[in-house]
Amino acid sequence: MFHRSWVPRKPYKADAWGMETAVKARGLTKRYGDVRAVGGIDLDIHAGEVFAILGPNGAGKSTTVEILEGHRTRDAGEVSVLGVDPGRPTRGWRARIGIVLQTANDMTEATVGETVRHFAGYYPAPRDPDEVIERVGLTENVNRRVRQLSGGQRRRLDVALGVIGDPELLFLDEPTTGFDPEARRRFWELIRDLAGQGTTIVLTTHYLDEAEALASRVAVVAGGRIVAEGEPATLGGRASAKARVSWSEGGERRALETETPTGTVIELTRRFDGEVPDLTVTRPTLEETYLRLVTLPEVTP
Amino acid sequence: MSRSSVARLGLSRAVFETRMFLRERDAVIFTFSLPIVLLAIFGAIFSGSVAGTGVSVAQLYVAGLIGSAAMTGFQNLGIGIAIDRDDGTLKRLAGTPLPRSSYFVGKALHTLFLSLCQVALLLVIGMLAFGLDLPTRVSAWVTFCWVFVLGVLASALLGVAASSLPRSGRSASAVIAMPFVVLQFVSGVFIPVSQLPAWLVNVASVFPLKWMCQGFRSVFIGDAGAALEVAGSYELDRVALVLGAWVIGGLVLCLLTFRWKSRRDG
């Protein structure tokens, strides 16, 4: 069997929308009975980018992603994923996307190697199983049963199964929930690595630092709608928000909110004739911005 | 998608599932020892032959327990698929290009393997410990083959349909085991049909197990036992008719009720 080796893929061909768009959604809507889970979401995810969807539990992010994955039907709206309507998934389309689900505790008695090789058989042009296992750092565990893996190792196996078919687009649903900090860092390296090979990645997460570390763009979902979208550094007017300059003076901590922090620092430098004691200049963290966004007054349906 | 890739991936699923099953050693031991232990117990309690015929009680039980073994698929698939739905297997597979039919081909082959192993074990133990004589007529083996194939198919399809009943993987074995045990009691596996009240036989006649056991009795007991049947004969034409109807009905039921998602997935 021939396997695609782990090399950067060629850029996408422009799809029917005329752009290198991996995911496009307009007016995506989903209700469960009387509950509106998704209330008109628009998305444009470009080929090759890492796109994070942030939001509190029940905000509609998992529903949105499951509609994009073809796991759930939608009530209304136009959706295209790799040029195909995920409401009518085909086998060929399934071969082009990879999905890492939120929780899984299946296949406990198979070994890592058997599992990855078995799943490789589902795809028309899979990656080399041994190479994938090495990429996710499970080479030493290749002969271990899945049930013997730690939580982090189990998750990396899920990623291995998500990428074994050499997908153009990979969905990761809260991939690092329950990880210790070191395992998360290692996991991030893996995701950056995949993104570096040209795989488009759609990631949902609770963790702001995760979105900031990995994503080129983020969308914040609250109450079934996108309340902000952009680069992590500028999200929700974060970059242009007032900066907080603080320093120590006369044994006291002093602080100033200003739109011109550079001017303030120059002024302080003059005043202290050199080094300003304990000087810090900060903007709102992504977390502060996020919390402000998701606690905005409820949008009316 | 070509037919060959459905079959190839179905076979690959069957090998994968069977390998995982064989590694759960406790499940393997209990699955295969249950019919043998039952045979030993019933053989020990009711020894000798049935009055007025040359039929040994052990022969009756071997035939009945082979019926049970052929119906393993009901229990195995009913519980197995409910667990697959609960632990994420079905959702994971639905996200891959694996043809959905290959999943079922895999389950069917896996079940066939389990049933064949159990039947072989029962025959060997029956011959060694209970003086069972294997039939020598070709026609008996032809009957055995079609009863076995139709019975396994009907039970497997019923199991697939029943897998949607349990609310979760944890409750599956309780939900599925109950009807299976009841059916075994009323279908002539543990208690000869001739000793059951007529209304109970009528209830059992709706389901496939009674007919499977009847077919296997015709194979392993032969003409000497026909007088013990409620109808005074093995009614093989009716066996074929009822089992055939269950294969078709089971298929329709599966197509109507099968869910790829667990209840909490909506």
Q: What is the pLDDT of residues B130-168, one digit of tens each?
A: 878 888 889 999 999 999 999 999 999 999 999 988 888
Question: Using CA atoms, how far apart are residues B256 and B262, in angstroms rounded to an integer?
Answer: 16
Task: Name the minimum distance, in Å, from the CA of B249 to any CA of chain A.
Answer: 28
Half-sphere exposure of A198 (CA within 13 A, CB side): 11
Residue A52 neighbours by CB under 8 Å, 6+ apart: A203, A204, A205, A210, A211, A214, A215, A217, A218, A219, A232
Separation between Cα atoms, residue B266 and residue B264, nearest integer Å:
5
Cβ–Cβ below 8 Å for A110 and B19: yes
**A112/chain B closest Cα distance in angstroms:** 12
| Residues in chain B within 8 Å Cβ distance of A124 | 97
| pLDDT greater at residue B169 or residue B219 | B219
User: Which chain B residues are within 8 Å of A75, Cβ to Cβ?
Assistant: none
B92 touches chain A (CB under 8 A): yes
Task: Write down the pLDDT at residue B3.
Answer: 67
The pLDDT of residue A58 = 82
pLDDT for the residue A12? 47
What count of other Cβ atoms lies within 10 Å of the Cβ of residue B36? 17
What is the number of residues in chain A? Answer: 301
Residue B140's domain spans which residues? 3-265
For chain B, the C-alpha Rg in angstroms (whole number) is: 19
Partner-chain contact B96 A69, CB within 8 Å: no
Which chain A residues have a beta carbon less than 8 Å from that of B97? 91-92, 94-95, 122-124, 165
Q: Which pLDDT belongs to residue A10? A: 47
Nearest CA-CA partner of A285 in A220, A233, A224: A233
**Model confidence pLDDT, tens digit, residues B49-103:** 776 667 777 788 888 999 999 998 899 899 999 999 988 899 999 999 999 889 9
Interhelix angle B138-162/B72-87, rounded to 10 degrees, is 30
What pLDDT does A157 receive?
92
Q: Comparing C-alpha atoms, which of A114, A196, A199, A141 is closest to residue A165?
A: A199
User: Judged by CB atoms within 8 Å, which residues 126-155 of A form the interface with B?
Assistant: 145
Number of domains composing chain B: 1
Instruction: Say what percent of chain B tops pLDDT 90.
Output: 41
| Chain B interface includes A71 (CB < 8 A) | yes
How many helices (H) does chain B have, and how many strands (E)? 11, 0
Q: Is B112 on the interface with A (CB under 8 A)?
A: no
Tell me: pLDDT of B110 over 50: yes
The mean pLDDT values, 10 residues at a time, for chain A of 301 residues are 47 50 93 88 93 88 92 93 93 94 81 96 94 90 93 88 94 84 84 90 89 92 89 78 86 87 90 89 81 65 44
Chain B nearest-CA distance from A123, in A, is 7
Distance CA B221, CA B66 (A): 13
Contact A165 B98 (CB under 8 A): no
**Can you give the three-state secondary structure of A146-157, one letter per residue?**
HHHCCHHHHHHH
Predicted confidence at residue B265, as pLDDT, reads 63
Tell me which chain A residues have a C-beta less than 8 angstroms from the C-beta of B14: none
Q: Can you give the pLDDT at residue A115?
A: 95
* Closest residue to B92, CB basis, from A97, A106, A165: A106
Q: Which range, A240-244, B143-147, B227-231, B253-257, is most confident?
A: B143-147
pLDDT in the model for residue B232: 78
The answer to whether the Cβ–Cβ distance between B92 and A121 falls below 8 Å is: no
Higher pLDDT, A142 or B129: A142
Q: Where are the alpha helices (DSSP H) in chain A?
A: 61-69, 91-94, 112-120, 129-135, 151-163, 181-196, 208-214, 261-272, 286-294
Place of tokens 């070994």: A111
List Cα–Cα distances, B119 to A140, A283, B50, B210, in angstroms.
41, 74, 23, 17
| pLDDT at A300 (0 to 100) | 45
- Can you tell me the mean pLDDT for B241-258? 89
State the pLDDT confidence band at B223, using cuts at 50, 70 and 90: confident
Residues from chain B that touch A123, judged by Cβ atoms under 8 A, are 96-97
Q: How far is B102 from chain A (nearest CA, A)?
A: 10
CA distance B7 to A118: 15
∠ CA B202-B207-B212, rounded to 5°: 105
Tell me what pLDDT residue A56 has: 85
Residue pair A127/A198 in contact (Cβ under 8 Å)? The answer is: no
